[in-house]
Amino acid sequence: MPYPMEGLPKQVTIYEVGPRDGLQNEQAIVPVEVKAEFIDRLADAGHKVIEATSFVHPKWVPQLADADDLLTRLHRRPGVRYPVLVPNVRGLDRALALGVDEIAIFASATETFAAKNLNRSLESQFDMFEPVVARALDHGIRARAYVSMCFGDPWEGPTPIRQVVTVGERLLGLGCYELSLGDTIGVGTPGHVTALIGAFRTPDRLAVHFHDTYGQALGNTLAALRAGVTTVDASTGGIGGCPYAESATGNLATEDLVWMLRGLGIETGLDLGKLVATSTWLAELLGRPSPSRVVQALSKGSSPDSRLEIE
């Protein structure tokens, strides 16, 4: 039975990143047919936004070297969006050739991470993104922007809020429809989340992307919802991390997020039972249990109400 709280949205969009951000850090290459089935299972569970893959150079992220093959195999369902990450114009060209209609770019809020992840300075990263977004918009393709290290950087320490806002608003100014604020190493806390979102002029164009390194992801999400955010990035089963930041552990698990939102009476359109079944299936293929607490509880039936909760 839900117990709503005042000041929260009635509906939340879950931007599913499992197939891209979730799998990118896996050492063993996942077969492309498994990835295609994973995405199809996510759509069957009710997801309306599934980030399918990334057009990065295979040298940097070998797991996603099959992006072209994956998109040709994809069974696209009406009403479901399948955005892809593109790092530069070359990546955009590959996406355009395959009929992609939504992309995402990946920026940094700190100097050091921009150098390590993008081989650019904090300022020169915009020289790379501007032509990508402009060309995408010319082709009628929507563009989303991620910003990493919004709360802290393992090399520089806490990230100044004004610095994050400056980077983020420049990305929105390029024409990106949405800005996802990433807690890449999971050091954010609810008060910090509230302060950062409050510093933006357009919180309605923000999304959040939390990692659960210190167990703060759900608390931070609740703070973001109270601050006006209605789109939350999550990864089925809690898989994922960042290959360029060793301290970045798993993403917020989609199932854990859905459990909390259901308890608050917030609609997501997702079938929790199908999500748990998908995570259990994927965990068996990856050879390790899902880090999601909800998946662990419901897949083993340890919750006395598990049969009721997944129906």
Torsions phi, psi for 32 (to 5 deg): -60, -35
Q: What angle do CA 88, 89, 95 make, to 5 degrees?
A: 95
150 is catalytic: no
**Longest CA–CA separation in the chain, Å:** 55
Euclidean distance between CA atoms 249 and 49, whole angstroms: 23
- Tracing tokens 């999500």 back to the chain, one arrives at 275
157 and 119 Cβ atoms separated by less than 8 Å: no
121 and 111 Cβ atoms separated by less than 8 Å: yes
Find the Cα–Cα–Cα–Cα dihedral 270, 281, 291, 271, rounded to 10°.
10
Sheet order of strands, 84-85 included: 13-16, 231-234, 206-210, 178-183, 142-148, 102-108, 84-85, 53-54
Determine which one of 242, 252, 276, 298 is catalytic: 242
- H helix runs in the chain, sequence order: 32-44, 67-73, 89-97, 111-113, 125-138, 161-174, 190-198, 217-226, 254-263, 272-286, 293-300, 306-309
Helices 89-97, 125-138: crossing angle, 10 deg rounding: 20
Q: What angle do CA 246, 279, 154 make, to 5 degrees?
A: 15
Q: Which active-site residues does the annotation give?
A: 242
